[in-house]
Structure 1
Amino acid sequence: QNGVFYYVQLPSYDTHEAYMHHNDEIFKTHIIGTDTSLDRVLVSRQTSPEFMNYTDGRYLWEIITFKDCSYEFAGVYQTSFAEIWYRKSTTAKWNKLFDMNDMVSNIFYFNNKIYYNSLKNAPNGSIKMLDLNNQVAAPKTILPEQADPISYYAIAQTKNYLIVPLKKNGVTTYSKFIYLPTNKITASPFKENTSSTQYWAVNMNKNDSVLIQREGWTNYPQLTNAVIGSPKETPDKYLTLNSLPFADNLIVEEIEVLSYDGTLVPLTIIRRKDLQLNGNNVAIVMGYGAYGDPVLTNYFHRSYAMLANKGVVCCLAHVRGGGEKGNNWHIGGMKQSKPNSWKDFNACAEYLIAKGYTSAKHLACEGASAGGILIGRAITERPDLWACAVPEVGVLNVLRSEYSSHGKSQNDEYGALENINEFFALMESDALLHIQKGTKYPAMLVTTGWDDPRVNSWLCAKFAAAAQNATASNKLVLLKVNYNAGHFGGSAGKQTAMKEAAKKYAFMLWQCGFDKTNKYD
């Protein structure tokens, strides 16, 4: 704004160098056109020791400002939740507004009031309001906890509305609109007839215009522009995506699979309508199961629709550890409860085999980042279920993750070494520790980016080396290092990324015995 932007200066730009999580970072502002030596320090360990000296994984993530608001806010996060601090001016002392126990994920501002999503005593989330003019008063509940969980990462704000999306059955979104001047709540005035409907404020400080993104599992997102209060929608002039020509060939099945302990786990299956369920189809199952993040359509690559049109069964397992069914679903797949994630995942694989969608010799799995825990432990616990596995930039040696450049910042999700109970949970979740000599493991393509600041390459490489040394199946175990990449992607552009995706799926199809002469090719 006005030629000024915020940035964070890191103590080192070498992603292979560990530093004391984020305490040595410096938050600054820069005026475009001026020398960087004139940049102003907003927050540092020296200026703000209140929240820049944590040693338990909490770290300053963002400085938050709002138009016409005299306060400045700081979000100190520990994975899913944040402490929110505030101050009146850039020279004033910081004061804590919300504690970590308040379970606040994000904040919004309107007319000197803070609106926020809280999971405290509300596992599915609730929207509360705090009057900054009367902070001693108890926060007011605006939207009480609903039967379906709030997709808190997708909440949007326009000039007069707070748009709160919720997830039905773990996967389908719908929204409630809060009119901020009166706090009146209404259903969305727009059609929500796809798996995901998300709203983006176009100019939140001036009006109630929104960009609406409708997205399904088998087609490209469709974008329209609208103004809340008017039924008229116009196609977005900057991005228009045509429908996939083969979308009508496909069917999406949203089912729930019985896991080992009786829990019903949502499973999305994308396949051709005319596909025979005879056990001879290649199937790919994708999963994540961490941080309370649900696997929604934004996780879904259109490659799956293309593969499904060729006769591949493409699936997304919404296992515990994600947020499909609220905070309890997240808690049910983290730390000591983390085994639920890969047991849910393997239960989905067993279902697909039992119902004839595929068989073990045709079944592949993939997952990335924290999803590496899921994939690594799924195949080490049940190597007989899988023909191929692709953990991408995956946390495959989680017991040692504190010694990576990320430090202790992920302890709230994975567990801490100094906590004896969490230490044993880390051991149980560590895929590397469960590699057994002489076991017939599936084929593997283990990928990593050399400059990955989140999941250092050695976390992946150690697992790949151990699997290569131990496997008795004579199936390929490959380690692929992208020396121009970080945590996903690289510097070579979209074409290179598409080629890498093509190689990945070619490896899966090859190792799963895909019949290139099938009638759909």
Structure 2
Amino acid sequence: MLRNSLLTGAATALVAVAMPAAAQDLTAPDYPETRTGDVVEEHFGQQVADPYRWLENDVRTDKEVADWVARENAVTDAFLARLPGREVLKKRITQLTDYERFGLPTDKDGHYFYTRNNGLQNQSVLYVRDGLDGEARVLIDPNEWSEDDATALADYAITDDGSKLLYAIQDGGSDWRTVKVMDVATGTVLPDTVEWVKFSNLDWAKDGSGFYYSRFPATGEGETFQALNTNQQVYFHTLGTDQDGDTLVYETPDQPELNHTAQVSDDGRWLVVTSSSGTDDRYEVTLIDLERPDADQMTLVPGFENNYSYVGNLGSRFFFVTNDDAPLKKVVTVDVTAPQQGWSTVIPESEQTLDGVSLVGGKLIASYLVDAKSKIEVFGLDGTPQGEVALPGIGSAGGFGGDPEQTETFYAFSSYNRPTTIYRYDVASGESTIWAQPEVSFDPDDFVVEQKFYTSKDGTRVPMFLVRSKAVAESGKAVPTLLYGYGGFNISLTPGFSPSRLAWVESGGAYVVANIRGGGEYGKAWHDAGRLNNKQNVFDDFIAAGEYLIDEGITPEDGLAIQGGSNGGLLIGAVTNQRPDLFAAGNAAVGVMDMLRFDQFTAGRYWVDDYGYPSKEADWKVLRAYSPYHNIRSGVDYPALLVTTADTDDRVVPGHSFKYTAALQAADLGDKPQLIRIETRAGHGSGKPTDKAIEEAADVLAFLAAFTGLEIEK
């Protein structure tokens, strides 16, 4: 991401009159009345009440739910509008967001495709240059697609000759995609249109005659945003034809729970179909010979036991990343014309987690996580080490895409105090040069990014990143702190830039990211230690992080705010129930809050890999023990909570947050407010317009600041 004009340093960016939180009445407002139902179900000998089951209904079609949403938003909006410093935060977050930022370029036959945002555009624009330094030309401006700018460019793919553009449209934050095609030279949008695409790769045939995609069956009326996603199929669409005539390439009707994504091999001969049954990286890989359509499909990797992720190929020699007998992952190769000869290791398992590999310019570029920080190493095709790509500090590097014959690639680097810079990497020489660098309204050197380690309840050593202004770090003062976590699905939290979090730090607070178990920072073992019947470790790790911050004098006892989204929203709900005394305030965003019914909606069925099956007694008992909705402790003082969700979230349906908030507001939790903020025409997060993102960030941070004592200055 990138930007304009360099202003004065962060130490002087916010000055003058303090607006103390005490000036505002922060007691809980009168909540709207919420109807309770009489749903009680028996599960494994236990009676479980679900009085707010009706709030699972779709807000778009159920008038009673829509009315409840409107009344809740009215109360929340009135409370947030009065918060001290809210407008100051919005102004500063806007300033920090207002910088030119670029996406990674893709080179197709000398045509360079990339996204750019001039700063405050609600959606980034897709450009093309003829030649690396050629004049930029707009191809797609999503800001022209809808009045509220909530329609986004979700993905795109280009033919090898750069003549045709395949792109996916996301509306209102939904996971569903509409796919269209553009002629690059003229900018003409072709008639080809493909619907019902979700969780799909998009890839062209090498001759540009059409493309491969994955889709689900069309849903029934009123079920589009809530029905379970099953029976995904891979199709080929021939340019100039209707979707009804698309060719079915791959399906598993006897296993409707499987997902299938497809990509064309580097040489164009093979279609690589990767199948999965949930969120775990346990795959089955099938090869389809595109030169011999009548040939039998080849199951190259059977069994759904390990991660086998396609990297690239040189002829019949295919490269994969795998965790088969390598929990931190390694690179292996196989001759697909003689797979019976077996696999051989090219890059053996290291002491660090292998996060990704690309095959570019006759080399393998491997990205490692070293205590959740990026390290990039280069290897020959025989696995011979050929050095590192030098990075500018603690941060995250990603990209390195391209084809085996290309001599250049691009990568991005960012950190908590540094927006994304795009680098061009010459594969032959190993030289990196800046392709696009942001000009920002602060001095990155005014902030200190540190990594610390703390001990969890069971003695496990856990890392965290700590971000403070240099002035605060040198003073040694305990300051209001925002602690963020996720802890699930093998997802690693690595350093990245956020304008809103920097605004918090500029205001004198600290920002902390805890790399708790359940993530992928230390490979399979770290993930396994935080899921299924080990899920409590995730909550223990996060609670221990909060205790460490207080014990070390980084934050005062009444100054700790917590935040997490999606699985991280579940985290916030669970730890608040378990240790309400530890936290002053929290933001649970788009969270999974009813752990007994999560598998009943949209993508929820995939999550059983991390959570377990509510239909199985042993799993149900674990889920029931920490489910946020079912473990609210009436009669105990709770921190202030702001729940955030959106009406078009079809990943974690908003009913989770609706039911959880209704239960909070019905309980006796003390004087602090338990509010919900429900965005319209937005989803799980992706595609959200810049203006909506800024508004939400200002609301959330003003709320957290008010209850932690962070004084926002004019």
In structure 2, the residue matched to 1:235 is 434
- Asked whether the equivalents of residues 490 and 497 of structure 1 are also in contact (C-alpha less than 8 Å), the reply is no
- Asked whether the equivalents of residues 372 and 393 of structure 1 are also in contact (C-alpha less than 8 Å), the reply is yes
Q: Classify the secondary structure of the residue corresponding to 2:621.
A: helix
1:177 matches 2:374: no
Partner amino acid for 2:325? N
Q: Identify which of 405, 417, 424 aligns with 1:225.
A: 424
- Asked whether the equivalents of residues 214 and 262 of structure 2 are also in contact (C-alpha less than 8 Å), the reply is no
Residues 203 and 260 from structure 1, CA distance in 2 versus in 1: closer, same or farther, beyond 3 angstroms?
closer
Q: Which runs of 5+ in 2 are unaligned?
A: 1-158, 160-207
Partner amino acid for 1:173? S
- Asked whether the equivalents of residues 307 and 314 of structure 1 are also in contact (C-alpha less than 8 Å), the reply is yes
Alpha-carbon separation, structure 2, partners of 1:132 and 1:67 = 14
In structure 2, the residue matched to 1:377 is 574
Q: Identify which of 282, 289, 298 aligns with 2:480.
A: 282
Equivalent residue runs for 1:331-350 within 5 Å: 331-350=528-547
CA-CA distance at 1:394 after TM superposition: 0.8
- Asked whether the equivalents of residues 219 and 305 of structure 1 are also in contact (C-alpha less than 8 Å), the reply is no
Q: Identify which of 258, 272, 279 aligns with 1:79.
A: 279
CA-CA distance at 1:301 after TM superposition: 1.9
Alpha-carbon separation, structure 1, partners of 2:656 and 2:295 = 42
In structure 2, the residue matched to 1:255 is 452
1:438 matches 2:644: no
- Asked whether the equivalents of residues 163 and 199 of structure 1 are also in contact (C-alpha less than 8 Å), the reply is no
Q: Classify the secondary structure of the residue corresponding to 2:603.
A: coil
Partner amino acid for 2:391? E
1:60 matches 2:266: no
Equivalent residue runs for 1:57-136 within 5 Å: 57=257, 59-77=258-276, 78-81=278-281, 82-89=283-290, 90=293, 92-100=295-303, 102-111=305-314, 112-136=316-340
TM-score (norm 2): 0.66
Partner amino acid for 1:506? A
In structure 1, the residue matched to 2:690 is 494
Q: Identify which of 204, 209, 215 aligns with 2:408.
A: 209
Describe the superposition over 1:241-262 as per-residue Cα deviations: whole angstroms up to 9, x where unpaired. 1255232221112011111111
Equivalent residue runs for 1:342-491 within 5 Å: 342-489=539-686
Alpha-carbon separation, structure 2, partners of 1:324 and 1:202 = 22
In structure 1, the residue matched to 2:197 is none
Equivalent residue runs for 1:156-171 within 5 Å: 156-168=358-370, 170-171=371-372
Q: Classify the secondary structure of the residue corresponding to 1:146.
A: coil
- Asked whether the equivalents of residues 84 and 97 of structure 1 are also in contact (C-alpha less than 8 Å), the reply is yes
Q: Which runs of 5+ in 1 are unaligned?
A: none
Q: Classify the secondary structure of the residue corresponding to 1:41.
A: strand
1:39 matches 2:240: no
Alpha-carbon separation, structure 1, partners of 2:646 and 2:602 = 14
Q: Identify which of 226, 244, 250 aligns with 1:17.
A: 226
CA-CA distance at 1:324 after TM superposition: 1.1
Alpha-carbon separation, structure 2, partners of 1:309 and 1:507 = 17
User: What's the RMSD between the two structures over aligned residues?
Assistant: 2.2
Residues 201 and 96 from structure 1, CA distance in 2 versus in 1: closer, same or farther, beyond 3 angstroms?
same
- Asked whether the equivalents of residues 80 and 105 of structure 1 are also in contact (C-alpha less than 8 Å), the reply is no
CA-CA distance at 1:197 after TM superposition: 4.9
Describe the superposition over 1:100-121 as per-residue Cα deviations: whole angstroms up to 9, x where unpaired. 5541141122221221122222
CA-CA distance at 1:402 after TM superposition: 1.0
CA-CA distance at 1:392 after TM superposition: 0.8
Alpha-carbon separation, structure 2, partners of 1:149 and 1:413 = 20
CA-CA distance at 1:287 after TM superposition: 0.5
Higher-Rg structure is 2
TM-score (norm 1): 0.90
Partner amino acid for 1:64? Q
Alpha-carbon separation, structure 1, partners of 2:249 and 2:504 = 49
Q: Classify the secondary structure of the residue corresponding to 1:448.
A: strand
